[in-house]
């Protein structure tokens, strides 16, 4: 039985008769192919990437597993439509906190049509993309069984968040106190278990960065890092299953032997934010 995902935080959503992804109950995520070149480009990327034997396994694990494409009944009632079949990254997780971080100060490729470039440029300038090299496209942070998730409106995410506001949200992601409460100072209680440690998010980001310092095969425009963890596990002293995955490859182009400096720059900027949070004492910092 297919249904709209419970934990989607950005992108096109399959609610209210719109076209968006669906999930099954065995861990598959069905993303509809966008009718234009973006759909076929994303299939081409997954096909190329999943069969590329030069990509080491420790890097492949940062990408959803690709199971091909399939015609399924679309969420908007338009009948059978082609979908990518991907690993459902939220499958088997309990109340995951999820953040979609769109990497790169530029979300458009030079090959894109002029009107599309202008639309993206506007969003890049109005958001933190140009200034910081990334922006928050959407997020949900689990607070408690009683209050559920803090899931800010999409509009408040795409408007320009300052570096301080983004730092504060990255702190809330690893804190016990209520994220949505204005003025609450994040305690960063789980910073060391989620961001730190040998398997934590910082170490995963650094591993990804070392690949981006070498790879010149692909240029990833408008691609996101999806950061996930389970706070309840951390609260119970267990491993919070923190991880990063890359999603959205509708705008991946051939690297032609050149470093993807747009992605790499944004990734370095994100790494700086996360490492600073890890190395400071959140509680004593006024906000």
Ligand X SMILES: O=P(O)(O)O[C@@H]1[C@@H](OP(=O)(O)O)[C@H](OP(=O)(O)O)[C@H](O)[C@H](OP(=O)(O)O)[C@H]1OP(=O)(O)O
Ligand Y SMILES: Nc1ncnc2c1ncn2[C@@H]1O[C@H](COP(=O)(O)OP(=O)(O)O)[C@@H](O)[C@H]1O
Q: How many residues bind ligand X (CB under 6 A)?
A: 13
> What residues contact residue 243 under an 8 Å CB cut-off, 6+ apart?
201, 204, 227, 228, 229
11 makes contact with ligand Y (CB under 6 A): yes
Q: Which stretch binds ligand Y (CB under 6 A): 67-75, 158-166, 185-193, 247-255?
A: 247-255
Residues in 215-234 that interact with ligand X by CB under 6 A: 222
Nearer to ligand X, 38 or 151 (CB): 38
152 makes contact with ligand Y (CB under 6 A): no
Q: Among candidates 136, 160, 85, which has minimal Cα distance to 266? A: 136
What is residue 3's DSSP assignment?
A: B
Site string for ligand X, 89-128 (x = CB under 6 A): -----------x-x--------------------x-----
Instruction: In whole angstroms, give the CA distance from residue 187 to residue 9.
Output: 24
Which of 8, 69, 129, 158 touches ligand X (CB under 6 A)?
Answer: 158
137 makes contact with ligand X (CB under 6 A): yes
H/E element holding 31? Answer: strand 28-32
Q: Among candidates 244, 200, 207, which has minimal Cα distance to 225? A: 244
* List of E strands, 64-151: 66-73, 80-87, 97-103, 134-144, 148-150
Tokens found for residue 74? 């679309």
3-state secondary structure of 225: strand
Which of 7, 8, 10, 220 touches ligand X (CB under 6 A)?
Answer: 10
250 makes contact with ligand X (CB under 6 A): yes
262 makes contact with ligand Y (CB under 6 A): no
* Chosen from ligand Y, ligand X, none, partner binding at 266 (C-beta under 5 to 8 Å by type): none
Tokens found for residue 202? 């910082």
- Give how far Cα 252 sits from Cα of 37, 44, 79, 109, 166, Å: 12, 9, 28, 8, 26
145 close to 153: Cβ distance less than 8 angstroms: no
* Chosen from ligand Y, ligand X, none, partner binding at 123 (C-beta under 5 to 8 Å by type): ligand X
Residues in 221-240 that interact with ligand Y by CB under 6 A: 224, 226
- Closest residue to ligand Y, judged by C-beta, is 11
Which of 132, 248, 267, 269 touches ligand X (CB under 6 A)?
Answer: 248
100 makes contact with ligand Y (CB under 6 A): yes
Q: 268-271 — which CB contacts under 8 Å span 24+ positions? A: 268/133, 268/209, 269/132, 269/133, 269/134, 270/101, 270/103, 270/133, 270/134, 270/205, 270/225, 271/202, 271/205, 271/206, 271/209
Which of 69, 75, 90, 107 touches ligand Y (CB under 6 A)?
Answer: 90
Chain residues that interact with ligand X, rule: CB under 6 A:
10-11, 34, 38, 100, 102, 123, 137, 154, 158, 222, 248, 250
Chain residues that interact with ligand Y, rule: CB under 6 A:
5, 8-12, 21, 29, 31, 64, 86-90, 98, 100, 138, 224, 226, 247-248, 250
């Amino acid at each position: 039985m297919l249904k709209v995902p419970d934990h989607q935080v950005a992108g096109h959503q399959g609610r209210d008769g719109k076209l968006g992804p669906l999930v099954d109950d065995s861990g598959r995520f069905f993303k509809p192919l966008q009718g234009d070149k973006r759909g076929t480009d994303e299939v081409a990327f997954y096909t190329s990437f999943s069969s590329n034997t030069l990509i080491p396994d420790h890097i492949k694990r940062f990408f959803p597993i690709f199971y091909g494409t399939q015609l399924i009944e679309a969420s908007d009632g338009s009948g059978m439509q082609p979908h990518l079949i991907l690993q459902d990254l939220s499958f088997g997780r309990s109340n995951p906190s999820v953040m979609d971080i769109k990497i790169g100060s530029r979300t458009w490729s030079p090959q894109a049509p002029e009107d599309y470039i202008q639309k993206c440029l506007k969003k890049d300038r109005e958001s933190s993309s140009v200034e910081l090299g990334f922006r928050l496209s959407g997020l949900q942070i689990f607070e408690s069984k009683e209050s559920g998730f803090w899931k800010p409106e999409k509009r408040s995410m795409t408007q320009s968040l300052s570096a301080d506001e983004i730092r504060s949200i990255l702190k809330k992601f690893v804190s016990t106190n209520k994220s949505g409460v204005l003025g609450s100072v994040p305690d960063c209680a789980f910073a060391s278990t989620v961001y730190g440690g040998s398997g934590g998010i910082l170490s995963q980001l650094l591993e990804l960065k070392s690949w981006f310092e070498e790879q010149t095969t692909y240029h990833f425009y408008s691609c996101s890092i999806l950061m996930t963890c389970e706070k309840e596990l951390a609260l119970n002293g267990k491993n919070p299953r923190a991880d990063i995955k890359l999603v959205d490859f509708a705008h991946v182009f051939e690297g032609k032997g050149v470093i993807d400096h747009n992605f790499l720059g944004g990734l370095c900027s994100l790494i700086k934010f996360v490492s600073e949070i890890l190395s400071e004492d959140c509680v004593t910092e006024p906000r």
